[in-house]
Amino acid sequence: MKVFVGRGSCGNAAGASEIFSMFEDSGCDVRTVGCVGMCYLEPIVDVQDGDGERRTFVKVDEKVASEIIKMVKGEANNADANSISKEDIDILKAQKRIALLNCGVINPDDIEEYIAQEGYSAVKKAVTEMTPEQVIAEIKVSGLAGRGGAGFPTWFKWNAARNSQNAKKYMICNADEGDPGAFMDRAIIEGDPHVLIEGMMIGAYAIGSDEGIVYVRAEYPLAIIRLEHALNQAREKGILGNNIFGSGFSFDIRIKAGAGAFVCGEETALIASLEGERGMPRLKPPFPAQKGYWGKPSNINNVETFANVPWIIKNGGTAYSVLGTENSKGTKVFALTGKIAKGGLVEVPMGISINDIIFNVGGGIKDGKEFKAVQMGGPSGGCIPKNLGDTQVDYASLAATGAIMGSGGMVVMDETTCMVDMARFFLDFTRKESCGKCTHCRIGTDRMLKILERICDGNGLKGDIETLEELSVHISDGALCALGQTAANPVLTTIRYFRNEYEDHITNKKCTAVQCKPLINFSIDEVKCTGCTICARKCPVGAITGELKKVHTIDTDKCDKCGVCKNICKFDAVEVL
């Protein structure tokens, strides 16, 4: 029997490396695989028998691992308690996996396993059987749009770079992935680095490039290690380098670790960073396809975009185009985070509804609470409320709500989420990540943040909502790049759909979701309190007093509203008002 342990960043954080060592030390034939996307079940272990059938075990701790080891050695067979549930199996079956096809299936450190899955057959087909123009035409037929956020037609960018008259061209991968709650690119590199390499090779052949660069954030150390190893293996195999597959096409890739600046998700800022300059955008045109890295024609796509390319070349653009909707083709990978029951990565066809993703694929809301909203498109996106849950996930439908597809982050919110505070959170992020080049963005986001902080502190003023709306327009109109142009989206959409919460904060000095500390108070219900004294003993600031078996009280002047008392009270006697 063979044992497979999911060792992506999420699995390792849950203890997968220690579990792997247990199997290794016991003499089992154990392999590393990437994250299958079900982060909420980590660590995940698969056991494959001689017929190739796999059994999956989830939330594997040392005790369960010991039972699995006995099962593998034929000493016992009582590890079923941690077998994956039918519900979770159905969640995997409900997906259409293209970019994530091999993630959680193959060993990312073994090129032979990728080749066994027909890996590198697409690039071989492209460079030996197709012209660059035919490759671009196939991508055009597929309808593949950039998965990094803008949704720009991939074929158009490739064609523009190909038509640029210059002997030197660059194929660049944006693996910076700066959105809060987004980890699609990281998981693909960690679980299937060769698919990125192959996608870049096909793109490079199409535009006429001999040099590729992967710009990856330094906070992804495991992804960098696995990608570097994969590149070395491809070179050793003669897949990367000179005269690839005897076609006369030569290409190689190097890695550049970025410092994690969100603004470097913008093409020209990324190029500036690659050149050793501060990551700041510049005016376009000229576009990177005409004048990019070191002034040479350059094409930039993100990891997920490249990960779709080998499948398209192998199976044909038409096969890809039948997935999704008329104007949004193929599949999309989403990172489900926040108040979702089954958080992780999912890949679904475009056109599926928000409700389908959250409830049928994501398992609904944690702890049985009410779905309230979802933030899509990261800090550049917008909050979509519950009543728009039937909205199709495609570029046009999401844009109509005030949100965007973005790179695929979905931050799910429940009834306990304060929408004003959520807008404050995302604007705080964009304000910090602004490069400072544009006055409107640099000063405008700071001004908006101060107003939001004041509202959350209970000091909101009449006219604040209108001021926020006015500033949003000026920032969007005056900013040079998409960071500033979209920075106000979370504020505008929360005002649009949850204006009552802003009004409650400002006029009634009340937080509807009971989350903003300056606007809430803790008290003890005289009927429910049994005088057990636990809350008084655990209060970190000594704000609770009372005798044993008598009703306790909270001194609101001393209370720092940490919530410890409410969390530990077994009688639900602590109320938040």
Query: Closest Cα to residue 115, out of 205, 20, 230?
Result: 230
For residue 363, the model assigns a pLDDT of 92
> Which pLDDT score, from 0 to 100, does residue 23 have?
95
In a domain, 89, yes or no: no
What's the average model confidence in pLDDT over 182-195? 96
Q: Is the pLDDT of residue 78 over 80?
A: no
Rounded Cα distance, 153 and 146, in Å: 6
Tokens read off for 277: 């300059």
- Does the residue 59 lie in any domain? yes
Structure tokens belonging to residue 455: 């509202």
| Cα–Cα distance for residue pair 11/43, rounded to 1 Å | 5
Which two structure tokens, joined as six digits, stand for 208?
């006429």
Residues 433 and 461 occupy one common structural domain: yes
Task: Give the pLDDT band (50/70/90) at residue 182.
Answer: confident
Across 47-65, average pLDDT: 91
Does some domain include residue 102?
no
Residue 495 and residue 430 share a domain: yes
CATH code of residue 479: 1.20.1440.230
Same domain, 192 and 277: yes
**What pLDDT, in 10s, does the model give residues 106-118?**
999 999 999 999 9
| CATH number of the domain where residue 406 is located | 3.10.20.600
Q: Do 303 and 360 fall within a single domain? A: no
Q: What is the domain range of residue 487? A: 419-508
pLDDT of residue 149: 74
CATH number at residue 528: 3.30.70.20
Q: Are both 149 and 283 inside the same structural domain?
A: yes
Q: What is the mean pLDDT of the chain?
A: 94
Same domain, 410 and 424: no
Residue 439 confidence (pLDDT) above 70 = yes
161 and 212 in a common domain: yes
Reported as a single tens digit per residue, the pLDDT across 357-384 is 999 999 999 999 999 999 998 888 899 9
What is the distance between the alpha carbons of residues 376 and 382, in angstroms, rounded to a whole number? Answer: 6
Mind listing the pLDDT tens digit for each residue in 252-302? Answer: 999 999 988 889 989 999 999 999 999 999 999 999 999 999 999 999 999
* pLDDT(101) > 80: yes
Boundary-marking domain end, from 389, 414, 439: 414
Q: Among residues 487, 508, 529, which one ends one of the domains?
A: 508
Domain assignment of residue 348, yes or no: yes
pLDDT tens digits along 492-507: 999 999 999 999 999 9
Lowest average pLDDT, out of 208-212, 253-257, 309-313, 434-438, goes to 434-438
Co-location of 135 and 208 in the same domain = yes
In a domain, 326, yes or no: no
Total domain count for the chain?
5
CATH of the domain at 257: 3.40.50.11540
Residue 101 lies in a domain: no
Residue 22 scores a pLDDT above 90: yes
pLDDT reading at 31 higher than 70: yes
pLDDT over threshold 70, residue 79 = no
- Both 56 and 133 in one domain: the answer is no
Average pLDDT of the segment spanning 161-167: 94
Rg for the chain, CA atoms, rounded: 26
pLDDT at 196: 98
**Cβ-proximal residues to 106 (8 Å cutoff; 6+ apart), any chain:** 33, 34, 113, 114, 116, 117, 192
DSSP assignment of 160-210, as one string? HHHHS--S--EEEEEE---STT--HHHHHHHH-HHHHHHHHHHHHHHHT-S
Give me the amino acid identity at 267.
Answer: E
Q: How far is CA 386 from CA 354, 389, 391, 416, in A?
A: 9, 5, 10, 14
pLDDT at position 380 is 84
**Domain ends where: 483, 508, 533?**
508
pLDDT at 76: 72
Q: Is the pLDDT of residue 3 over 90?
A: yes
Count of positions (residues) in the chain: 577
What's the predicted TM-score (pTM) here?
Answer: 0.93
91 in a domain, yes or no? no
pLDDT tier, 50 (very low <50, low <70, confident <90, very high otherwise): confident
**Cβ neighbour number for residue 289 with a 10 Å cutoff:** 23
Q: Do 431 and 386 sit in the same domain of this protein?
A: no
Q: Any idea which of 8-12, 74-78, 257-261, 544-548 has the lowest mean pLDDT?
A: 74-78
If pLDDT is split at 50, 70 and 90, which confidence band does 102 have? Answer: very high
Q: Please say if the pLDDT value at position 71 is more than 70.
A: yes
Whether 77 shows a pLDDT value over 80: the answer reads no
Residue 259 has a pLDDT of 85
Condensed to tens digits (0 to 9), the pLDDT of residues 475-532 reads 999 999 989 999 999 999 999 999 999 999 999 999 999 999 999 999 999 999 999 9
pLDDT digits (tens, 9 = 90+) for 393-422: 999 999 999 998 888 889 999 999 999 999
Q: At what angle do helices 303-315 and 132-142 cross, to 10 degrees?
A: 100
- Mean pLDDT (whole number) for 172-195: 93
Same domain, 392 and 430: no
State residue 49's pLDDT score.
Answer: 87
**CATH classification at residue 14:** 3.40.30.10
Task: Decide if 225 is inside a domain.
Answer: yes
Structure tokens at 383: 């909050």
Q: Within this chain, do residues 166 and 302 fall inside the same structural domain, yes or no? A: yes
